[in-house]
């Protein structure tokens, strides 16, 4: 059985490869061939963290497997990543183990790629200003994916930590040659942005609807556990909301808190990104629509990415 470390995976699988893999897996799941039970949580509130077990079967790649991943919001203060993962993949027909892969980079790149696919299907074609609320590990990958699917001229960033902000601006400057603006508030960062991407672990809504201009596309990435919410419910009510998976999004996505409070209903959700990709539903109708992608992270994307890495070696 192979073991693949982060460096060899990073060399084999870049964002431009991940975007089509993630898009194809969205379609395969929406069409009912891929199998993915909702992720299982192991909550450790005493450590402000949790673990998730995420199994999936991706028949087009003849691969099945499981990712074991955590999210511990206090880790960056200790110099450790918030999100770290390990993936095990097997032959679907016999169950034989094929490989163990470091899953931290795959998680980061496939999450960026899912934001990229959502942005490609939902953002205005002429989107130029991309705003990032939260500039930690995931923001880099979202920015990379967005810059691959739209001709971005300005990237704005707001983060609580000046050190994280500097790390973000320095690292994106390696591939983004446009204007980079450090904003002093979420309001300043969001106003008149064409795309707003949130990657914080916040349990208090940060983005207010009066700061979101008509036509904006929002990637709500950070809310991936019960009780997390980054956008005020008024933003969700104003937007055409697309999820990645109903069982996961209703339990732990951006919509979980307003659904529990009865402020939002299932009928308020437009559909899934998979349905958009497979063409069974439509996205934005006008350049004035506000669209929102509620991402919880799908195991099909981890296992399909692991399959793509293995077949490239």
Q: Phi/psi at 214 (nearest 5 deg)?
A: -55, 140
Is the Cβ of residue 57 or residue 140 nearer to ligand NAD in the bound state? 140
**Residue of 27, 39, 67, 238 marked active site:** 67
Quick one: CA torsion of 144, 34, 253, 128, rounded to 10 degrees?
A: 30
For ligand NAD, which residue has the nearest CB?
136
Residues that bind ligand NAD (CB under 6 A): 71, 76, 82-83, 107, 111, 133-139, 158-161, 164, 199-202, 206, 221-222, 224, 295-297
Distance CA 108, CA 112 (A): 6
Is the Cβ of residue 90 or residue 104 nearer to ligand NAD in the bound state? 104
CB of 106 vs ligand NAD, minimal distance in Å = 11
Distance CA 19, CA 30 (A): 17
CB of 299 vs ligand NAD, minimal distance in Å = 10
> Residues 212, 256: contact at Cβ < 8 Å?
no
219 three-class SS: strand
CB of 87 vs ligand NAD, minimal distance in Å = 14
CB of 175 vs ligand NAD, minimal distance in Å = 18
Distance CA 169, CA 158 (A): 11
DSSP state for residue 255 in the 8-state scheme: T
- Report the candidate in 132, 89, 91, 126 with the shortest Cα–Cα distance to residue 112: 132
- Report the candidate in 109, 112, 113, 128 with the shortest Cα–Cα distance to residue 217: 128
Q: Does residue 14 have an active-site annotation?
A: no
- The catalytic residues are 67
């Amino acid at each position: 059985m192979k073991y693949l470390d982060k460096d060899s995976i990073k060399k084999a699988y870049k964002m431009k490869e991940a975007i089509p893999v993630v898009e194809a897996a969205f379609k395969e799941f929406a069409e009912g061939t891929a199998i993915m039970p909702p992720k299982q949580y192991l909550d450790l509130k005493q450590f402000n963290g949790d673990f998730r077990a995420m199994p999936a079967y991706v028949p087009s790649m003849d691969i099945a497997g499981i990712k074991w991943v955590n999210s511990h919001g206090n880790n960056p203060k200790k110099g450790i990543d918030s999100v770290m993962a390990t993936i095990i993949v097997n032959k679907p027909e016999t169950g034989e183990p094929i490989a163990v892969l470091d899953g931290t980079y795959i998680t980061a790149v496939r999450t960026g790629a899912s934001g990229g696919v959502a942005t490609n299907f939902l953002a205005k074609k002429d989107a130029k200003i991309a705003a990032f609320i939260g500039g930690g590990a995931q923001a880099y990958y979202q920015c990379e994916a967005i810059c691959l699917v739209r001709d971005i001229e300005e990237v704005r960033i707001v983060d609580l930590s000046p050190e994280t902000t500097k790390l973000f601006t320095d690292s994106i400057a390696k591939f983004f040659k446009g204007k980079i603006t450090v904003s002093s508030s979420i309001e300043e960062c969001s106003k008149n942005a064409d795309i707003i991407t949130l990657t914080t672990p916040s349990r208090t809504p940060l983005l207010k609807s009066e700061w979101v201009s008509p036509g904006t596309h929002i990637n709500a990435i950070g809310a991936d556990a019960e009780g997390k919410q980054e956008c005020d419910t008024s933003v969700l009510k104003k937007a055409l909301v697309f999820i990645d998976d109903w069982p996961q999004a209703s339990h732990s996505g951006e919509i979980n808190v307003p659904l529990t409070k009865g402020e939002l209903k299932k009928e308020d959700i437009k559909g899934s990104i998979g349905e958009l990709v497979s063409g069974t539903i439509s996205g934005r109708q006008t350049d004035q629509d506000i669209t929102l992608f509620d991402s919880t992270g799908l195991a099909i994307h981890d296992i399909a990415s692991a399959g793509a890495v293995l077949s490239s070696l």
